[in-house]
Amino acid sequence: MNISMKDMQTRTQANVLQGPLGWGLLVAAGVVLLASLAFALIQLMTSGHTSFNTSSTLPWGQPIATYLYFALASSGLGLIASLPLVFGFKQYYPVAKRCIFLAFIVLISGMAVLALELGNVFRMLWAIPLNLQVQSAMFWMGVFYALDLLFLLWKFSKLQGGEWDSKTAKQVGIASFIGVLLASGNLALIFGMMSMRPFWFDALLPIYFYFTGVTSGVAALVFFTYLAHGFQRERMPPALQALLTGALPKLFAALIGGTLLFIAVRAITGLYSNNPEINLVWTGYLFASPLYNASLLLGLVLPFVVMLSASLRNRAGVQVLVACLVFLGLFAERFYFVVGGQVVPLFHGTWQPGLISYTPSATEWSLTFVGISLCFVLYLLGEKFLNLGDMPRHMAEAPAGAQANTA
Amino acid sequence: MAKWGMVIDLDKCTGCQACTTACSMENNTLPGESWQDVLFYHEGEYPSAQMKWLPRPCMQCENPSCVHVCPTRATYKDPDAGGIVFVDWNKCIGCKYCMIACPYGVRFYADEKPLIEPDIREAYPSDNGQLWSPPYQNPEEDWQRGIGIQPPGVVSKCTFCYHKVKHAPEGVVDLDEDNPEVKEYVPACVRTCAPKARYFGDLDNPESQVNLLIGDRHGVRLKDHTGNRPQVYYLGAGASVPAFTPADREHDA
């Protein structure tokens, strides 16, 4: 009994975040979190939502885009974690635990931002479950993301206990995989079922969200994995090094390419459409914005081109840079997606002769920083106390050459 | 129970905005929170450009997409109140999804940047949980139906002046401001309409004035392709909304 318990225990994988660097970053992230949260709360308590730049003609702004980014990145991380845990892609084991933990905290951070955006957040806790409006996609968003969180936590506790391949761990892994698909697919339908918002109205939006969600998830995974090792690959265990020079960069390149393909087909059909609520969004808002064009070129096209080169995509510095660029590029995509569905006025001829303009306010930016800094704080705590770099024992103890061959 | 409907005759409407003013006074709405307003458009190019206008209340749809999307049933269609769509301010969480789903743009989240300065909410700050408390306030209040001055963080909309309509005697088919028996129960925008371009009555009664007008003069509903089936019908030339064209692009056309 004692022996089996010992086998179940996780072993600490040393990384730089467990030392003074981790504490330093934790303090810095904590300060940003407290400052941004304090600013947001003061603004919300003194000015309410008048401190937002949203309006009744454009009700969903940057906080919704931030939530969307985080929720989909979380789903993407959950889907990557299912590669080894559900589908048996063993070379991904070294990142599985970090993936699940990141998926959990990224979702929590997104939900925190959404909570601060709502008009009456605490009312939600009883009003949604008691009224059971099953026709509403937003009702199901609550159900599926709550289940998603639960399964992520459960799955993490299994890995924390050293159960990588047990029957229960597999079952929880499958449940979590389905939960992720339901949650992010349903999140897409919140937009995709709105026939009165033609820029969003798209039956294939769940596929677009899955794909782009995984891309942002891989970007987060690459960045945080390198951060944990001080951006030095030689400090990583051999199995992780093998993954980061083998399967993962190839997957990352393919995902960025697929994301670009999705954007391209949406843009082509949008530009071809005579419907001003689609066509004008592309011509008068998205492609008319230097910021959108820059985010598309620098945040997705450039990373894709760089990642096409086998020698470049295996470099640590390039991977981190690409992860950061993709993070910014996809954040911009989420922002322009959310706002783009609303910029053509529904009914406001005289009062709104042009497209509705919107720039996030300081309060709305502060909510975005709340999300990012909360994510960092929780992640650093996780690295410090939860041994996120853990992997199955046979993999951790295998020689470097053997890992490279399996990757 | 009646199914209340409104008919707006665009051949009679002069775009005077009396309805807009009456609505905002009746319901104490904020500047910009126009539960009922008149939208102006122009179509065509000089010298054959046309000025058009469209009065626009909440359509009180038969199949309202705002009701389907609301995660808390805060917005609901009440068949016992003539099929009017209400927002329960005790249940609304302020997610604004109904505003996204409404094809007609007739829902308001009044806790937002003021349309005019100084902010009237600061001039008349709230003293009872409302968003603001003006010196005159309609004594009618029913937060379960979104009647009164809303609290912060909820969505508001036109109620067809249900606080007036509900007092109409049972079985009344037409709420006509020319009939002294019922004129007090007529929605504010209908009662104040100087050219009598608005009619209000029971869509379920084939003899009602609204049904006769819709039948005789080919009443149309706006954005019917969305399937929302409004209980507000338009008559006359120009009973449609032109596709949106930004002002600076019209000159390129």
The pLDDT value recorded for residue A405 is: 44
pLDDT at B240 over 70: no
What is the share, in percent, of chain A residues with pLDDT greater than 90?
Answer: 68
pLDDT digits (tens, 9 = 90+) for A341-360: 999 988 766 556 789 999 99
pLDDT for the residue B176: 93
- pLDDT value, residue A239: 87
Q: Above 90 in pLDDT, residue A102?
A: yes
Which pLDDT band, with edges at 50, 70 and 90, does A137 fall under?
very high
Phi, psi at A336, each rounded to 5°: -70, -25
- Which pLDDT score, from 0 to 100, does residue A6 have? 43
Span B54-64, average pLDDT:
94
Would the CB atoms of B154 and A120 count as touching at under 8 Å?
yes
Looking at chain A, the whole-number percentage of residues with pLDDT higher than 70 is 93
The residue of chain B nearest to residue A276, with distances taken between CA atoms, is B244
Contact B147, B159 (CB under 8 A): yes
Question: Of chain B residues 218-247, which have a CB less than 8 A from chain A?
Answer: 223, 226-227, 241-247
Task: Round to the nearest angstrom and report the end-to-end CA distance of chain B.
Answer: 50
Say how far apart CA A356 and CA A58 lie, in whole Å.
7
Core vs surface per residue A362-384: b (16+ CB within 10 A) or e: ebbbbbbbbbbbbbbbbbbbbbb
Q: How confident is the model at residue A385 (pLDDT cuts 50, 70, 90)?
A: confident
Q: What are the distances in angstroms from CA A365 to CA A63, A155, A362, A376, B93?
A: 8, 33, 5, 17, 22
| Nearest CA-CA distance, residue A91 and chain B, Å | 42
Q: Domain residues of chain B, as ranges?
A: 4-235
B120 close to A (CB below 8 A): no
Whether chain A has a CB inside 8 Å of the CB on B69: the answer is yes
- pLDDT classification of A165: cutoffs 50, 70, 90: confident
B114 at interface of A, judged by CB pairs closer than 8 A:
yes
Alpha carbons within 13 angstroms on the beta-carbon side of residue A121 total: 10
On the 0-12 / 13-18 / 19+ scale of CB atoms within 10 A, B113 is middle
Residues of B in contact with A349 (CB under 8 A): 39-41, 54, 241-242
CA torsion A144→A150→A156→A160, rounded to 10°? Answer: -170
The whole-number pLDDT of residue B84 equals 96
pTM (predicted TM-score)? 0.92
Going by pLDDT thresholds of 50, 70 and 90, the confidence category of residue B51 is: confident
Interface check for B77 against chain A (CB to CB < 8 A): the answer is: no
* Average pLDDT rounded to a whole number, residues A208-216: 95
**pLDDT category, B253, cuts 50, 70, 90?**
very low
| A85 pLDDT higher than 90 | no
What is the pLDDT, as a whole number, of residue A185? 95
| Cβ proximity of A107 and A70 under 8 Å | yes
Asked if residue A8 has pLDDT above 90, the reply is: no
The pLDDT value recorded for residue A406 is 44
pLDDT band at B241 (very low <50, low <70, confident <90, very high): low
Q: What share of chain B is helix, strand, coil (3-state, %, to 5)?
A: 20, 20, 60
CB contact under 8 A, B40 and A350: yes
Q: What is the pLDDT of residue A404?
A: 45
Torsion of CA B81, B87, B88, B89, to 10 degrees: -140
Stronger pLDDT, B241 or B164, i.e. the higher one = B164
Judge whether A44 and A51 are in contact, CB under 8 Å. Answer: yes
The pLDDT, as a whole number, for residue A168 is: 86
Architecture of domain B4-235 in CATH?
2-Layer Sandwich (3.30)
* Amino acid occupying residue A48: G
Scanning every residue of chain B, which has its alpha carbon at the shortest distance from the alpha carbon of A135? B68
The pLDDT of residue A398 is: 66
Mean pLDDT of chain A: 89
By three-state DSSP, how is residue B39 classified?
strand
Tell me the mean pLDDT in the region A10-20: 67
Q: What is the ipTM of this complex?
A: 0.92
Residue A365 or B224, more confident: A365
Per-residue pLDDT band for A407 (boundaries 50, 70, 90) equals: very low
Query: What's residue A13's pLDDT?
Result: 56
Determine the Cα–Cα distance for residues B153 and B111; give it in Å rounded to an integer. 6
**Out of A194, A280, A347, closest to residue B104 by CB:** A347
Name chain A contacts of B39, Cβ cutoff 8 Å.
347-351
Question: Once rounded to an integer, what is the mean pLDDT over residues B240-252?
Answer: 62
Name every chain A residue with its beta carbon within 8 A of the beta carbon of B109. Answer: 49, 54, 56, 59, 119
Averaged pLDDT for residues A256-278: 94
Contact in structure between A279 and A271 (CB atoms under 8 Å):
yes
What band does A216 get if pLDDT is binned at 50, 70 and 90?
very high
Q: Looking at residue A386, what is its pLDDT? A: 86
Q: Give yes or no for residue A402 having a pLDDT over 70.
A: no
- What are phi and psi for residue B37, nearest 5 degrees? -140, 175
Chain A interface mutation, best of B53, B70, B93, highest count of A Cβ atoms under 10 Å: B93
* Phi, psi angles (nearest 5°) of residue B52: -130, 155
User: B41 and A136: CB-CB below 8 Å?
Assistant: no
B109 inside 8 A of chain A by CB: yes
pLDDT for the residue numbered A294: 97
For position A270, what pLDDT does the model report?
A: 95
